[in-house]
Amino acid sequence: MAKIAFIGLGNMGGPMAANLAKAQHHVTAFDLSDAALNTAVEKGAHKAASAAEAVKGAEIVVTMLPAGKHVREVYEKDVLPNVAKGTLLIDCSTIDVDSARHVAALADKAGMEMIDAPVSGGVGGATAGTLTFMVGGKDGAFAKAKAVLEKMGKNIVHAGGSGNGQAAKICNNMVLGVSMIAVSEAFMLAKRLGLDAQKLFDVASTSSGQCWSLTNYCPVPGPVPTSPANRDYQAGFTAAMMLKDLVLAQQAANAAGASTPLGAEAAQLFNLFVNSGHGGKDFSGIVQMLDGK
Ligand code: NAD
């Protein structure tokens, strides 16, 4: 089994590291938070005193950090100066495409193989080991990483060269953000027209309005019992996280010269929702703002 260093043991990284330890890999873990680190140790990881210590002697390094600046910093200060040539580097954080490509280029220069491998599936998927991984990087690095990713996820898609995993992630989440607003607007229009939510669901879920935001994550209580709408919009996937991904999509669209007017509008609406104090709510809670609440 492989010697794996795991850095960033938060809501997602914690259960992902636990699944690697459960699969009998030797996991050496580090997080700035003692609580997160101790939980990982309880789940079978070995404690390191720093990120630099964790990666020394590792065959594979996995990072699961909040944003691009954390990934750049950890790779530049801790990972790249301390790993042996040939070490496989896997960054699972959701970050901007530029940072992903920058770090991959530094790794390549230092003789390391690196992939960006952001995930979808949330904390539930991280815990159950059923995440979807969207991978950017060279064929050889993808082939080496696949067996490890399979211990944490179910669908592993090679999306192309460095940064393409991040590109796939933000494109998907831009669809999700826009579609959640569209579905929410439809339910609020129905309400004002005197059309029952369940009736709209019965029609749209079997018609051309069908989409994941409607049938799996319906933003109004009732039609889909497992959706956050039935538990006062307890997250799930927070509105703050959705805003982060929509902003990343807008930055990428501006840099690449892509027209994404609905993505821009979705980013603005989630910005309003988050900055009026609802960042911790599930993102489907935006329906309440559209309802004037
Ligand atoms: P989190 O805030 O719970 O965890 C991040 C962890 O990184 C924290 O424990 C923090 O202490 C640690 N950290 C920060 N800087 C560090 C450093 N320099 N060295 C060591 N540890 C450091 O976040 P999360 O929900 O686990 O999300 C992690 C990433 O996964 C984010 O990029 C997020 O966008 C992405 N993501 C999250 C979800 C979700 O549902 N939570 C779903 C898909 C993708």
Type of residue found at 183 = V
Best mutation site among 63, 64, 123 for ligand 1, i.e. most ligand atoms within 8 A of its Cβ? 64
User: What atom of ligand 1 comes closest to residue 33's alpha carbon?
Assistant: 11
What is the Å distance from ligand 1's center to 158 Cα?
22
Which burial class, exposed, middle or buried, applies to 255 when counting CB atoms under 10 A from its CB (0-12, 13-18, 19+)?
A: exposed
Per-residue pLDDT tens over the stretch 129-174? 999 999 999 999 999 999 999 999 999 999 999 999 999 999 999 9
Around Cβ 143, how many Cβ atoms within 10 Å? Answer: 10
Active site residues: 169
Q: Which two tokens stand for residue 81?
A: 């100066």
Going along the chain from its start, the domains and CATH numbers come out as: 3-161 (3.40.50.720), 167-290 (1.10.1040.10)
Q: Which two tokens stand for residue 240?
A: 């703050």
Residue 165 preceded by cis peptide, ω within 30 = no
HEC assignment per residue over 108-156: HHCCCEEEECCEECHHHHHHHCCEEEEEECCHHHHHHHHHHHCCCEEEE
Nearest to 189 by CA among 162, 174, 166, 209: 209
pTM for the predicted model, two decimal places: 0.94
Residue 18 contacts residue 9 (beta carbons within 8 Å)? no
Pocket around ligand 1 at a 6 A CB cut-off: 7-13, 30-33, 36, 51, 64-66, 70, 74, 93-94, 119-120, 122-123, 237, 241, 244
The per-residue pLDDT for 236 is 83
Per-residue pLDDT tens over the stretch 56-88? 999 999 999 999 999 999 999 999 999 999 999
Ligand 1, atom 17, residue with closest C-alpha: 32
Average pLDDT, the chain: 97
Per-residue pLDDT tens over the stretch 23-49? 999 999 999 999 999 999 999 999 999
What is the Å distance from ligand 1's center to 68 Cα?
11
Residue 157 contacts residue 133 (beta carbons within 8 Å)? yes
Using the structure block, give the residue that is written with the tokens 């979808």.
Answer: 120
Using the structure block, give the residue that is written with the tokens 């994941």.
Answer: 212
